[in-house]
Structure 1
Amino acid sequence: MTFPDNHPVEKLREQPKEIKKVLEERNLWPKKKINLVCKKCSKKNADNDENDEIRTVSEVSL
């Protein structure tokens, strides 16, 4: 997946394309903002962070 050798920008000729460019060409890049954070995972991680803080506080109290 490279730019064609007749690309108008000489610097890009035969260079690899970025994933965004490839997806745009295939109409797979979303028109709206991309959600890069899973709501389930981020909630789970937030719960883990809270538990870590609780353990840290109780360990310091000892």
Structure 2
Amino acid sequence: MAHRIRPAECVACGACQFVCPAGCISEVEGGIRLINEEVCVDCALCVRACPEDCIDKV
């Protein structure tokens, strides 16, 4: 399993990227973050860190 960020709701704060132990979250256009689902270890730390609650399990 992995997680996915809903870009329309992301406010580009970077909280998810800061806590990710796998380093699978990168910044894309406009500061929005993207999760590499192949590298995600499903720890859900990003979900807990996100102030906008815009990260879902896939």
TM-score between both structures, scaled by the size of structure 2: 0.20
Which has the larger share of strand?
2
Larger proportion of helix: 1
